[in-house]
Structure 1
Amino acid sequence: MADDYDDHVDGAWVSVATIAGVVLLCELLRSVAARCFRGGAASASASAWREAASTLQLCYCTHELKALGQAGSLGPAGGLTLGYGVTLVHVLSFRESTCNPCGVLERAWRGTSVGAGAKARARTRTKDRAGARSATAATATAVLASLGAQLAAALAARHAFYSVCSLGRAEHHAHRLDSGCPDPLGGTVAEAAAVEVACAFAVQTAALHLRQVDDRLRAHVMATLITALAYAGGNISGALFNPILAFSVNFPCAGHSYLDYCLIYWLGPASGVAGCILLFEKILPSLRGGKATTPDDDDLAGAARRRKRRRS
């Protein structure tokens, strides 16, 4: 028993050290992107590089946390503590990255992405249709670049995790190679899809209503919420509520078809995000007798208040 406990602890420290190394590497990549791509068309390239680095960090760390949880290397308290700490690091380090296709499409729809910003500026400079088409093409290119960067990073994270497992430095890594990826669902397809919809709705609701909160406090609130949702829904669907993260972590697993996973992990989160935006920005404002709202004005007001606090 003591030897098994020591093996679990040693394996957990191997994962923690690997997670720390990946976080530092991805932060270095984000810093290099910020220095090498500045202004104009380069900002779209910088955005894609940030998406790639942050998605790689998110997916690899989730692979490690999932392997630790399935092997029982950490108790409930240890798992929640590590999960919260890693999630907090993600929230603080990702900055403008979404690491989520739903987030990329939402920003393009709102006109707040890099490509959409170029589109808006182009429309202010010119009123001709050719300029508008060119700006629309720039927006589409920026969105496709971000989505492609996320996909490549998700595949790279999966390959990197199994490469680390092949080194045999931790017992749970060897166990993953021997047993493969088990069925991630603890309920029916409908139950798992409902969990993904509810989790995505909850996270999007918090993101919409915490835009004016201080950055440091918002990071802790979001990390706490995500950890709680992962604990509550993890036994049913894995509670990933992110299409690209699920593609990296759960799609290779046995037990269900790709169509089932697409319905659960792609359609579920997209429905949750869309439902949240429709409810809080369209339906509720119309019931109150006001016009439909967007969070852009709140973002500007919140940013002004934060700058004022920093100066004081």
Structure 2
Amino acid sequence: MAGLNASLGYFLAIVVSVASVQMLLRKHPRLSSLLELASSFMLVACRLEVQTIVEVGEWAGGLGPDVTVTMLFVVLLTHGVICGGASGNPSLVLQQFLQLETPTLPTLLAVAAQFVGADLALLAAGYYWSLELTDMHLIKNLMSASCSTSLLVPVVQGFMTECACALVFHLVQLNLRHRSALIRVPLTAVLLTFLSHTARGFTSAFINPAVAYGLTFHCPGFTLTEYTLVYWLSPLTGMILALLLYMGHIPRLFAKNILYFQKTRFRVPKGGKAEKKKM
């Protein structure tokens, strides 16, 4: 229980810090990329602690899988409420770019900021673990140099798993993006929690290149190229497939709808031809 209390205190500190930064930055629209930095920092920092509970807490702290699933859901829900439009997810930023919703430079700045946020989260979590407040964190601090990879299957199977999860996530996100936040945020948190729990024995279904970079890229077991294929290229592939299925085309790449037949808006009245013949 002491480990859980320490984790809750850590989550609270991260949330309060990011919420304060978000309030300050929203007054300056030109610094929108920093909102993505703060969003990514919160997401990665909190998920690093959730991963700690999964790796150590379940056998050293007596915390069962139900606790980790609940905490993951609460983290994702809180992130959606606090960060709002700042997703902290490079895949979603690139999706908006491909939909012609954001220009090139802001997109590049946002993606770069998200990875910087992931790096800062690694530093913050590492410092927190070094304090060794509980036995769980003492063990995690000793294990931090040789963490366990989240990729537990061959690269091809991992690629297919992340691609399928990304396809489902982006299709749902595209259908929910114009809905009220009261509907969109909880449903997104439930979906991400479900996908992560379902793919726990495969890739953990991060569906977020910045989160994957922070949680598993530094762990031994696979090369950087293999991690890139599974956790960067695969979500991007799933996102592009989702856009094609949802819109029928990729606006940034080509305007022609290649999947769905577009009906014309204006129709000729049925009696129009008969009237012309009489004349």
Is TM more than 0.5 here? Answer: yes
TM-fit CA distance, 1:80: 1.4
Q: Is structure 2 residue 90 aligned with structure 1 residue 105?
A: no
> For residues 202 and 120 of structure 2, what CA distance do their matches in structure 1 show?
26
What is the 5 A alignment of 1:3-82? Answer: 9-35=1-27, 37=28, 43-45=29-31, 47-71=32-56, 72=58, 73=61, 74-82=63-71
TM-fit CA distance, 1:213: 3.0
TM-fit CA distance, 1:106: 2.0
| DSSP 3-state at the match of 2:219 | coil
> For residues 38 and 241 of structure 2, what CA distance do their matches in structure 1 show?
29
The corresponding residue for 1:166 is 130
Deviation string, structure 1 residues 139-181 (Cα, Å, up to 9, x no partner): x332222122112111000111111100001222222222231
| Aligned with 2:262 (options 260, 280, 290) | 290
Q: Is structure 2 residue 79 aligned with structure 1 residue 85?
A: no
Q: Is structure 2 residue 207 aligned with structure 1 residue 218?
A: no
Deviation string, structure 1 residues 195-216 (Cα, Å, up to 9, x no partner): 1111111110111112343321
**Structure possessing the higher radius of gyration over alpha carbons:** 2
| Aligned with 1:262 (options 209, 228, 231) | 228
| DSSP 3-state at the match of 1:238 | coil
Q: Is structure 2 residue 210 aligned with structure 1 residue 244?
A: yes
> For residues 53 and 10 of structure 2, what CA distance do their matches in structure 1 show?
13
Q: Compared with structure 1, are the counterparts of its residues 288 and 148 closer, same or farther at alpha carbon in structure 2 (3 Å cutoff)?
A: closer
The corresponding residue for 2:139 is 175
> Counterpart of 1:58 in structure 2: which amino acid?
L
TM-fit CA distance, 1:244: 1.0
Aligned length: 250
Q: Does the 8 Å CA contact 1:44/1:142 hold for their aligned counterparts?
A: no
The corresponding residue for 2:172 is 206
| DSSP 3-state at the match of 1:259 | helix
Q: Which runs of 4+ in 1 moved over 3 A?
A: 285-288
TM-fit CA distance, 1:287: 4.6
Q: Does the 8 Å CA contact 2:47/2:75 hold for their aligned counterparts?
A: no
TM-fit CA distance, 1:288: 4.3
> For residues 271 and 175 of structure 1, what CA distance do their matches in structure 2 show?
37
Counting helix residues as a fraction of each chain, which structure ranks higher? 1
Deviation string, structure 1 residues 260-294 (Cα, Å, up to 9, x no partner): 100110011111111110122117x7554227xxx
The corresponding residue for 1:230 is 196
165-174 vs 177-186, which moves further: 177-186
| Aligned with 2:110 (options 146, 149, 159) | 146
> For residues 247 and 286 of structure 1, what CA distance do their matches in structure 2 show?
34
TM-fit CA distance, 1:54: 0.6
> For residues 258 and 217 of structure 2, what CA distance do their matches in structure 1 show?
40
> For residues 259 and 42 of structure 2, what CA distance do their matches in structure 1 show?
42
The corresponding residue for 2:155 is 189
